[in-house]
Structure 1
Amino acid sequence: MTDLVQQDTRAMSVAVSKSRYQSEEFTRRLKARYAAERRFKMAGIAAVGIASLMLVILLGSIVTKGYTAFWQTQLRLEVTLDKAQVEERNFMPLLRQALYAQLPDVADRSSRRQLNDLLSSGAPYELEAFVARNPAVVGTTQTIWVRADDEVDQFMKGYFRRDVPEAERRLSDVKIAAIDALTAKGSLVQSFNTTLFSAGDSREAEQAGIWGAIVGSLLMLSVTMILSVPIGVAAAVYLEEFAPKNKWTDLIEVNINNLAAVPSIIFGLLGLAVFLGFFGMTRSAPVVGGLVMALMTLPVIIISARVALKSVPPSIREAALGIGASPLQTVTHHVLPLALPGILTGTIIGMARALGETAPLLMIGMVAFIVDIPHGWTDSATVLPVQIYMWADSPERAFTERTSAAIMILLGFLILMNGLAVYLRKKFERRW
């Protein structure tokens, strides 16, 4: 009898459940939930798509404006190296005579003065360097390739139109006719712009390069790494493994987390007040920039190192202590090596952030116009982000493409550093 009652009860429960879950109200609510889920999924896909589209537009704009900077217009001249003028270092007249010889139809003085503008102001230095490398060529006629002026370069790249009135053009009819004649002879061609990767900054766009900024960035990052990595890792190890848990360590942790979110310009103001104002260090020096960047990256390295140390299972520590290792041996021989991949990843990301910062360096004077390549930590220097900032402020059209090219190179460095961080994480990561 009892079994029959239980069977009837279960049957009634199933019937009630079916009637409940097969009701129109339940079906309506279920469809509404599924519809909401689909809407949420579509919104997420749309957000990712819009972000990807904006990124493509941004990168596309940079590439289309900057890829032409990797090419530079060169002018071929047959230069007669007169000994007297070479000894007096009068190289520009030699170049001008060679240019006039290429264009014999241009005879009047005013037109020839316009032809002089086809040559870069740095062309005499190129000829001087050629003679210095080959002293035996003095007194002979040599084929020399020199840089053309930046306006000629922009015209060759299609940025200046010729189908507008002469008064509205940057180049006169005489210059355009000369460019066409030289191009037809094969004396005006475009080649890879080695100057962009071998020279420092310049007021003339065709002579400007980023090598000085790259060297300055490397010097600054070396100072940042030497200071921030040992101090940051040591602080993380102490706070995570040895420091007592009390209100003072809690206060330190809160301040470290807050410093990681402080705007970077604040660190620039700190460097301006302390390193330049109090200690009187050299303005625009990589050592000062490295000190400021070290202060900025320290919280990032400490936080990432602590997270890496926390990821090591407690059983590793307990096993090491159980076989007689001291707390210091446990950390140095077991915990720290296992946490190294995470520490390296955080360090590289911190260095990448330091490489891309501009505001703190503007505050300590690294916005100076630097032509020479720095050779030490105390030489005046600039860095890639500041170089981009300075070129972006220049009115010449040729600096626009160089600005975009420098952005492409900086992004390449940042992608390389982040890729290295991902590679190290994947290579050395342990699964527990």
Structure 2
Amino acid sequence: MSVRDRLAHTFGLARDSREAAAPPADRRGVTRRSFTLGSIAAVGAGMAAISLSSCGSSDVKETSGEPQVVDDSQLVGVLDGDYESADSPYTAVQEFTLPLGTLLFHSGGSWAAALMAPESSQHVNTLGTMSLSTGVLNTLIETPTQGAAYEFFDVRCTDDVFAWVEIDYATRAWTLIGQGLYNGQLNGDPVQLDSGDIDWEPPRFTTWNTSVIWQKMPLATGGASTEDSHCYQWTLGDTEGRELWTSHGRFAASPHVADGVLTIAPRVNVDEGTYYGMTAIDLTDDNHTQRDQLVLPSGVAPFEAVYVNEQFAFSIEASYDGRGSLGNMGTFIGREGGPYIYVRREPLACVAAWGSRYLIKAQTSHFVVDTEAQTYATLSAPDRSVDYGDWPASEGATSQFLSYATIRNEQGIPDHVTARVFSL
């Protein structure tokens, strides 16, 4: 989940509409559309720009592409008596105290990206990394590369690449930048990956190995609302970004990667109505083979989705009347044809998993759902945590689960952030 969404949860900000105007017929993006971004100069370092080009992929396998309208007979209700309650299998192996306002994002590996709020009039926020083994925060960038009008908007990293978005809130212009990372420190020169203006939403993005993957989408209302949306990948050292998918309408969820498989939720069947197809793409295959797809009922948009253990772990943010059981609010685990494991709680973040255990964010804590043992447990939040309690920094498939929470002092005032690492 992006910084924007986390702030929306905290301050009650309205989410942008995820639905675009209906475009022409749906198909894969193989138009060879490309363009080159203008060169810019970074503060203190040269910054190159990349060009973006499109590519094809293989056909969908073992899926019908038809909307999956199912009833409750295909649901396994975790909290409705189908699973048994159990003791939590995990305790924190590391616990760190961090400055108030720190936000963490863990895409796997030994480092988490950090958006920090230093006590300084010169910088609204700064970017850095946190070591999962020591909890040490490294401040990497204090000043936006695009100038004084810009602020840091979002950030991600792996052990090898660091990516961030800078935004001018007055004009809504934004830039996505990538750079190498080594031992928690920046390496090489920054590269401008993409940019947009007031008509284009700041990108939802993730990092995987040495790659940055992002979605460029027009705002649902604005001068570019009828334009296509695109999903791109850039790999460290490349001068060109590669287009993975064209969606004739906005994507419904942020991109996530687990075990080398990217999950996106483009518009599909657009000549028939508003349909979203959660799609799994193999990033380890040069052809980016489509591994799986699950099309939701008409009008139902996934809040988050990730492909783990050959099935989709996805969530629905609201209840949709007349759409069947997959139109219910909650979190689901399954693929086309069912059955679907179902957690009947409001979803708040992307699912994380390791083996048969899935960590699902609840209001103040996490459920640990074991699909093999058919049990569920609770991963309790730290004492005196504020509002949304323990928040997941990790997503997808990970052997180390990182969470963090804002903690109140004895007077009830937010005092610091506690980060915890669980070995899965």
TM-score for the superposition, normalised by structure 2: 0.20
Which has the higher Rg, Structure 1 or Structure 2?
1
More strand by share: 2
